[in-house]
């Protein structure tokens, strides 16, 4: 991942101050003069949970397509992609809310609120499973598709999980970047937490198939199997929340507007930021579409005359449990992001603009090859190049924002809504075309938009460079 100046605080990054307070409205906010490892490790672990549970949410598509939407007919793919749609809708709705919470209550309180939303989301997932088990016959018909009411409860849980991810990222991304930790540079800290986050996304598909659903074939999946694992996860996150309340998170100065200070300019007046939000909209759309829809494409192939093979076999059996090739594809994709983020830590001498140009070009070419050869193994390889895109766009879009960075953080997170739009569009396009194959042209389009941002949109106008402040 690219970085700004290696001074221990990334200029123009997300806001990075945090407050240690019992009552944030009354106690003064003090800056901790000495860096400590504890806050960094704690936030890194929480970021692992964000990646893990975000991907678990997306990986529910395959199993729940059978459990909830067996009677959805030709609209099955459209309805199932509503799960990530509601998850990422939360980024659009709550990005600014999270920023306001930070400015008013501090980072620690906002962090705890994010964890509480995660507990709420898991509780609603549990309620959805329980309701479907108890009242499975309660259904509604939409455009000829018969949908159980429990499915809509699950969508509410997906939105709550998305809200949690939004709030936690608005806190964690900037904090670990700006938190001064002896012997480290901002880019190193960002790469570490992103790699750990990617580790969570990598193991999540196997958690869903191998643990939640015990390796059962998709046609045998029942929502009853969700109840106990979700209950256990909810209790564990509740314990993490309680421990976080005891965590000391020092404040980091000069990244937010002072109390009562007005911002003279509209945040949208910074062209490189505005175009960066658009670029991140398309990036997250591409990242999530591949990460959560590739397994649906694999399931489609498994029911065709040309099933997807791994080492000559149509299944993946580990210790007697069929983890499934769809789960393997998703894990390879997210694993590519993890490996790429680790490797990118050695690319400090290469500018983010050059990295973004090279990565988007390679991803676009691989996507086209995958489409024309109908090869999903090639498609998941784009994860290696997607790994650097968030960091590159993030760095290029927030150059020189200084006291505007707190507000920019919420604005930037709104772009993550692309993760809702593009998977849903792809699902609807697939239903219209009758196959997933040509729907991947949407991902190709996303790569071209990011390439345009790298080449032209990321260049900072002179009037958008703010004067240094003491």
CATH number at residue 303: 1.20.1250.20
Q: Using an 8 Å Cβ cutoff, are 17 and 32 in contact?
A: no
Check pLDDT > 60 for residue 254: no
Q: What pLDDT is recorded for position 67?
A: 66
Average pLDDT score, the chain:
76
Does 343 map to a domain?
A: yes
Supply the pLDDT for residue 185: 65
Residue 195 located in a structural domain:
yes
Residue range 263-274: mean pLDDT, rounded = 78
Give yes or no for residue 27 having a pLDDT over 80.
no
Span 57-68, mean pLDDT? 67
* Residue 105: pLDDT over 70: yes
Is residue 45 in some structural domain? yes
More confident residue, 444 or 175: 444
Beta strands in 234-326 (DSSP E): 317-318, 321-322
Residue 13 domain-assigned (yes or no): no
In three state form, how does the secondary structure of 101-116 look?
A: HHHHHCHHHHHHHHHH
Helix axes 149-178, 186-206, angle to 10 degrees: 160
**Residue 83 clears pLDDT 70, i.e. is over it:** yes
Q: Which of 83-92, 123-132, 166-175, 435-444 has the lowest mean pLDDT?
A: 166-175
Q: Which residue has the higher pLDDT, 400 or 436?
A: 436
Looking at 298-384, which runs of residues are DSSP E strands? 317-318, 321-322
Does residue 27 lie within any of the structural domains?
no
pLDDT band at 425 (very low <50, low <70, confident <90, very high): very high
Range of the domain at 211: 37-259+266-462
Residue-wise pLDDT for 330-387, tens only, equals: 888 988 888 888 887 677 678 888 889 999 999 999 999 999 998 888 999 999 999 8
- Angstrom distances, CA of residue 113 to CA of 171, 194, 353, 431: 11, 21, 35, 38
Q: What is the pTM of this model?
A: 0.72
Strand partners, 140: 147
Q: What is the pLDDT of residues 208-237, one digit of tens each?
A: 766 766 656 655 667 777 788 888 888 989
Q: Is residue 17 part of a domain?
A: no
Quote the pLDDT of residue 447. 96
Q: Return the SS3 of 310.
A: strand
The arithmetic mean of pLDDT across residues 183-194, rounded, is: 71
**Residue 220 in contact with residue 73, Cβ under 8 Å?**
no
Number of domains in the chain: 1
Is 316 inside a domain boundary? yes
């Amino acid at each position: 991942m690219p970085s700004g100046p290696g001074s221990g605080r990334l200029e123009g990054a997300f806001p990075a101050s945090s407050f240690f307070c019992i009552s944030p409205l009354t106690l003064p906010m003090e800056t901790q003069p000495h860096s400590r490892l504890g806050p960094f490790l704690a936030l890194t672990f929480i970021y692992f949970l964000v990646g893990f549970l975000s991907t678990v949410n997306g990986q529910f598509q395959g199993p729940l397509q059978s459990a909830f939407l067996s009677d959805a007919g030709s609209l099955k793919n459209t309805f199932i992609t509503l799960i990530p749609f509601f998850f990422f809708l939360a980024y659009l709705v709550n990005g600014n809310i999270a920023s306001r919470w930070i400015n008013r209550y501090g980072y620690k309180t906002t962090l705890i609120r994010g964890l509480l939303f995660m507990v709420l989301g898991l509780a609603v997932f549990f309620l959805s499973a329980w309701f479907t088990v108890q009242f499975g016959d309660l259904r509604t018909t939409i455009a000829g598709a018969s949908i159980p009411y429990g499915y809509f409860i699950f969508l509410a849980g997906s939105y709550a999980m998305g809200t949690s991810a939004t709030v936690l990222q608005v806190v964690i991304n900037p904090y670990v970047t700006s938190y001064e930790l002896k012997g480290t540079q901002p880019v190193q800290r960002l790469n570490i937490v992103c790699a750990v986050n990617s580790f969570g996304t990598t193991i999540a598909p196997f958690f869903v198939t191998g643990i939640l659903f015990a390796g059962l074939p998709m046609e045998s999946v029942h929502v009853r199997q969700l109840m106990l694992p979700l209950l256990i996860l909810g209790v564990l996150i509740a314990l993490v929340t309680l421990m976080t309340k005891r965590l000391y998170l020092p404040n980091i100065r000069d990244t937010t507007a002072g109390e009562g200070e007005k911002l003279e300019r509209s945040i949208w007046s910074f062209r490189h930021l505005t175009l960066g939000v658009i670029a991140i909209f398309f990036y997250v759309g591409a990242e999530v579409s591949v990460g959560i829809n590739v397994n649906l494409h694999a399931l489609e192939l498994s029911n065709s005359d040309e099933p997807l093979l791994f080492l000559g076999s149509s299944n993946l059996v580990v210790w007697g449990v069929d983890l499934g090739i769809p789960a393997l594809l998703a894990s390879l994709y997210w694993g590519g992001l993890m490996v790429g983020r680790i490797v990118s830590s050695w690319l400090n001498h290469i500018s983010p603009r050059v990295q973004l140009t090279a990565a988007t070009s390679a991803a676009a070419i691989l996507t086209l090859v995958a489409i024309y050869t109908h090869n999903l193994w090639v498609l998941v390889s784009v994860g290696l190049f997607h790994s650097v895109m968030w960091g590159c766009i993030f760095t290029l879009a927030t150059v020189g924002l200084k006291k505007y960075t707190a507000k920019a953080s919420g604005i930037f997170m709104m772009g993550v809504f692309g993760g809702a739009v593009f998977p849903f569009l792809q699902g609807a396009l697939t239903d219209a075309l009758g196959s997933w194959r040509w729907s991947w042209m949407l991902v190709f389009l996303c790569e071209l938009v990011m390439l345009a941002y790298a080449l032209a949109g990321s260049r900072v106008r002179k009037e958008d460079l703010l004067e240094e402040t003491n």
